[in-house]
Amino acid sequence: MGFLQGFEIAFQLQNLFYCFVGVFVGTLVGVLPGIGPSAAMALLLPITYNISALGAIIMLAGIYYGAMYGGSTTSILVNIPGEAASVITTLDGYQMAQQGRAGPALGIAAFGSFIAGTISVLGLTLIAGPLVQVALKFGPPEYFSLMALGLIILIHLTGGSVAKGFMMGLLGLLLSFVGLDTITGAPRFNFGMIQFMEGIGLVPLMMGLFGIGEVLINLERPEERGHIVTAGYKGLLPSVKDWKDSIGAILRGSVVGFFLGVLPGGGTTISSFAAYGLERKISKHPERFGKGAIEGVAAPEAANNAAVGGSMIPLLSLGIPTNGVIALLLGALIIHGLRPGPELLEKNPDIFWGFVASMYIGNAMLLVLNLPLIRVWVQILKIPYRLLFPLILLFTIVGSYSMQNSLFDVKLMIFFGVAGYLLRKFNYEPSSLIMAFVLGPMLEEAFRQSLIISRGSFHIFISRPLSLAFLVLAVITALSSLAPVLRRHLRSG
């Protein structure tokens, strides 16, 4: 089983359908401000219960990279980013739209996304297989150190307060410990409630934090609806000059996005900012940026799409999520009985290669979807949020209930919804919590297995070169997070 057979599987009618649904819904949530890919993946998770594991991962991943495409539409036409990863696109995209060049801006965003998406999936195809061979040599100490590194980098890069990031990570770990201990079978933190014996469900937790939490926070805000630029989006094909100006930015954005996607803690938002910064830095006319430079649209849109393919590499080959959305995808795979990591390629090569091949198809579908359907997306932009939120609430309720036909899960989800709302109010980042929650059981298992192997010696974590390297990087990252805080403290005191 290899890459070409993956295409045979991905081209099966049902898988094409799931791919289409994923990228369509992804574009839709990308277009609509107020609903992110995390919330959309959480909302659609229940629909995947009745379909194959491959269909589920194809659809959920489609939502992720589809949202990256869709996010640019709102950035360019309304000056409101549909996604955090498209924030930077507003700077030049909206300027282009106001100058009557919305069409080329939308066109280059779509073509750039397609080119970058394809390059990054090519990178995924080439790198994931060999990396699996390396990962097969990993033992529990390497896994523990790598997961610790991933968590610390994510906390470091989530933005805002480092202390808040750490607290979210630690809380996520604590919540993951609820339920039966995987090694001794002892019940932990169930507070006498039988429903907690199997632990806190990922579905009520993420639906509450992302679905209900986002709805509640949006209910508080006055509806943001900027002026939709409807003029000049008919000629979507960029001119030869536009291509000349953009192709370098697209290729550089693809490389930057891909590598930042692979790194733990990297992601679409960081990639888009980094690619934009790079373009402005190397440009002969940096003063054009922010005033409608087409490279300012091409580079970040290419980078955020490339980051998606990059972030799939650690997930598929090591079983480690590099950001919050990928953590959700990992959780969904576990719900479907799959354990991403080196074993996935060995035991389920059909799923591995079928999924990789589906990403090529999905990227092509998005190009076809985005350009001709631009009028539809513009109409969707006009739907007020107040009409959407009741439907989002319905999806979250049914989604959390249908996993185990459990009313307790619905109540739990509402509880986490309120928690998610309060976390946002106090500027905490729930994605750190989710990532720690998903990694928690694996982290603990690897930690305790390492100590069993070494007969209780912590030396095992530093005596193995890879484990030591990961830990050193984790310590450097943690110290670099604390450095600004210490500097401020020293300066003030």
Contact footprint for other proteins (CB under 8 A): 46-47, 49-50, 161, 163-164, 166-167, 170-171, 173-174, 177, 181, 183-184, 186, 188-189, 212, 215-216, 219-221, 386-387, 389-391, 393-394, 397-398, 401-402, 405, 407, 410-411, 414, 417-418, 421-422, 425-428, 444, 447-448, 451-452, 455-458
In angstroms, the CA 71 to CA 93 distance is 12
Residue 161 CB, nearest distance to other proteins (Å)? 7
Q: For other proteins, which is the closer residue by CB, 134 or 486? A: 486
Residue 480, Cβ neighbours under 10 Å: how many?
A: 12
In the block, residue with structure tokens 């035991």: 347
CB atoms within 10 A of CB 453: 13
Q: Shortest approach of other proteins to residue 336 CB, angstroms?
A: 16
Number of neighbours of residue 192 by Cβ within 10 angstroms: 6
Give the shortest CB-10-to-other proteins separation in angstroms.
24
CB 157 → other proteins: shortest distance, Å?
Answer: 18
As measured in angstroms, the least distance from the Cβ of 449 to other proteins is: 11
Q: Which DSSP string do the residues of 418-430 spell out, in sequence order?
A: HHHHHHHHTT--H
Nearer to other proteins, 94 or 428 (CB): 428
The residue whose two tokens read 């990297």 is: 266
Q: Are 87 and 272 in contact (CB under 8 A)?
A: yes
DSSP state of 378: H
Nearest Cα neighbor of 207 from 398, 63, 47, 437 is 398
* Least distance to other proteins, CB of residue 153, Å: 17
- Give the shortest CB-482-to-other proteins separation in angstroms: 11
Q: Please, which residue, 130 or 484, has the CB nearer to other proteins? A: 484
Radius of gyration of the chain (CA): 22
Identify which of residues 4 and 492 has a Cβ nearer to other proteins in the complex.
492
Tell me the two tokens of residue 386.
């107040």
Shortest distance, position 187 Cβ to other proteins, whole Å: 9
| Least Cβ distance, residue 350 to other proteins (angstroms) | 25
Q: How far is the CB of 297 from other proteins (least distance, A)?
A: 34
Q: Which residue's CB is nearer to other proteins, number 136 or number 418?
A: 418
Residue among 3 and 177 whose Cβ is closer to other proteins? 177
Cβ-based nearer residue to other proteins, 368 or 418: 418
Cβ neighbourhood burial of 334 (10 Å; 0-12, 13-18, 19+):
middle
Closest CA to 162 of 482, 489, 492, 486: 482
CB of 12 to other proteins, least distance (A): 21
Alpha-carbon gap, residue 80 to 82, rounded angstroms:
6
Beta pairing class for 187-188 and 179-180: antiparallel
- d(Cα 445, Cα 450) in Å, to the nearest integer? 8
Torsion angle (degrees, nearest 10) of CA 396, 402, 403, 404: 130
The pair of three-digit structure tokens given for residue 267, joined into one six-digit string: 């992601």
Output the CA torsion 83→297→73→425 (10° steps): 20
CB closer to other proteins, 259 vs 401 = 401
d(CA 320, CA 143) in angstroms, rounded, equals 9
Look up residue 266 and give its two tokens. 């990297």
**Comparison of 130 and 390: residue with beta carbon closer to other proteins:** 390
Nearest CB to other proteins, comparing residues 111 and 401 = 401
Nearer Cβ to other proteins, position 104 or 140? 140
β-partners of residue 179 are 188
**12: which DSSP letter?**
S
CA gap 73, 232 in Å, rounded: 13
